[in-house]
Amino acid sequence: MTQVLEMKYFVLKPKAKDGYDMYARASQDAMLAYSERVRTTAPLFADQLLCWAEKEKASQDELYRVANKPLQLTARKNGGN
């Protein structure tokens, strides 16, 4: 039988280092789920978590988009020659 992991605290890291950071994405998703769960008793806190998680998701999505942007070749300027 596998030993059960029990901790008092669990730390999340929502800021991604790149577009492929699965731990950051999991942290963002966990923050969104927690926000939904506490909304009835702590609506302001829930909104703050939601905004933070969405901001980090958008930032990571942008990192992913830039990393996967196709190269665009540009015409070289000849200087009139």
Render pLDDT for 34-66 as a digit per residue (tens, 0 to 9).
999 999 999 999 999 999 999 999 999 999 999
Tokens of 59: 């930032």
How many residues are there in the chain? 81
Separation between Cα atoms, residue 24 and residue 32, nearest integer Å: 12
Which of the four pLDDT bands, split at 50, 70 and 90, describes residue 8? confident
Count of C-beta atoms within a 10 Å radius of residue 2: 4
What's residue 2's pLDDT?
83
Tokens of 60: 């990571």
pTM over 0.85: no
Q: How far is CA 61 from CA 46, 66, 76, 78, 81, in A?
A: 22, 9, 31, 37, 43
What's residue 27's pLDDT?
96
